[in-house]
Amino acid sequence: MKKLAVVLLAFALIFVVAGSASAQQKQRIVIATGGTGGVYYPYGGTLAEIINQKVPNVFATAEVTGASVENIRLVGKKEVMFGLAMNDAVYQAYTGDGKFKGNKIDSLRSVIQMYPHIFHIVTLKKYPIYKISDLKGKKVSVGAPGSGTEYKTGLILPLLGVKYSDMKVYRLSFAENATQLKDGIIEVGIWDVAPPTSSIIDLATTHEIRFIPFTQDEIKKVSAAYPFYTGWTLKKNTYKGQTEDIPSVTVWNSVVCHKDAPEDLVYKITKAIFENKKMLTNTHKIAEFTTAEASAKQSPIPVHPGALRYYKEIGIIK
């Protein structure tokens, strides 16, 4: 009996050690997303869920960040495996232009093209703000520090004749935009995000809101200066009380990684994402735009070899 107990204990220890070794073999990766009031965070959370369920020996977590610009820098420093970022920031980081002048990050590679982001300029109906030039003299949140929203705002508004010095500038997250509009602390909040987004939905349930449209001339001016921006229409009834289509501008988003990310790992993750895309569309319908074809052909920077391997395997590119 004593011998049997010793044998059973030995087997138990083997399983514990084996389990411990197995746990230690799991590679931990981080996905840098954005604030909790936007789409990056739930989208990135679902990417992590797909990886954890479908890619053996990998444990992924999605982390809250300042979004695009910060994420690109984290990827460039190899502090995270993947970052979600808007393609204007991605392109200018890769080429060393704009905010990345003198700090080129040409080690970036794209994995997938996610979806388009729409520039939302939101105010409350009680304010006499109807066009972009009306932002002058107003209390305006231009986006969180290090975010793609703030980056894009800094390119677009000065081009259209509204400099930061013309406004009282706040740099708030999406959730803070909604809260501070409700509280009367700011008069305008800017979101560059996939519609519909939870923080604007929340704001529209308690307050009457107005979206500030772009004119066609403004859209042409933006697209001529920055070819990665194109015109887009925010369809009426996207949000409560929005009774008209709103002309705006858009930019696509990428999941990016470092060029040194292991090819086989990136291949397995890319494959898992597209074979389980329904998990993404269940999280947010904007993920319908996440396609292998767009990912293979529309990246503003080189595609990582691991992702390319998958796109070649399914016949999208030769």
Tokens of residue 193, six digits: 């995000």
> What's the residue count for the chain?
318
CATH H-level, domain 117-251: superfamily: Periplasmic binding protein-like II (3.40.190.10)
How high does pLDDT run on average in the chain? 92
SS3 state at 158: helix
Q: Where are the domains of the chain?
A: 24-116+253-313, 117-251
161: left (phi over 0), alpha (psi -120 to 50) or beta: left
| DSSP structure string for 65-118 | -S-HHHHHHHHHTTSSSEEEEEHHHHHHHHHT-GGGTT---TTEEEEEEEEEEE
Residue 249 bridge partners (DSSP): 231
Same fold for the pair 24-116+253-313 and 117-251: yes
Please, what CATH class does the domain formed by 24-116+253-313 belong to?
Answer: alpha beta
| Neighbouring C-beta atoms of residue 293, cutoff 10 Å | 12
Task: State the number of CA atoms in the 13 A half-sphere of 263 facing the CB.
Answer: 6
Residue 318: predicted pLDDT: 84
The pLDDT value given to residue 172:
96
pLDDT at 5 (0 to 100): 43
Q: Are 86 and 250 in contact (CB under 8 A)?
A: no
* 86 CB-near residues (< 8 Å, 6+ apart): 68, 117, 148, 151, 152, 192, 251, 252, 253, 254
**Residue 174, CB-side half-sphere exposure with 13 Å CA sphere:** 29
Spatial distance between the Cα atoms of 113 and 296, rounded to a whole number of angstroms = 8
CA dist 100 and 90 (Å) reads 10
For the stretch 38-61, pLDDT in tens is 899 999 999 999 999 999 999 999
In tens digits, what is the pLDDT along the chain, a chain of 318 residues?
Answer: 444 443 334 434 333 434 443 445 899 999 999 988 889 999 999 999 999 999 999 999 999 999 999 999 999 999 999 999 999 999 999 999 988 999 999 999 999 999 998 999 999 999 999 999 999 999 999 999 988 899 899 999 999 999 999 999 999 999 999 999 999 999 999 999 989 999 999 999 999 999 999 999 999 999 999 988 989 999 999 999 999 999 999 999 999 999 999 999 999 999 999 999 999 999 999 999 999 999 999 899 999 999 999 999 999 998
| pLDDT attached to residue 228 | 85
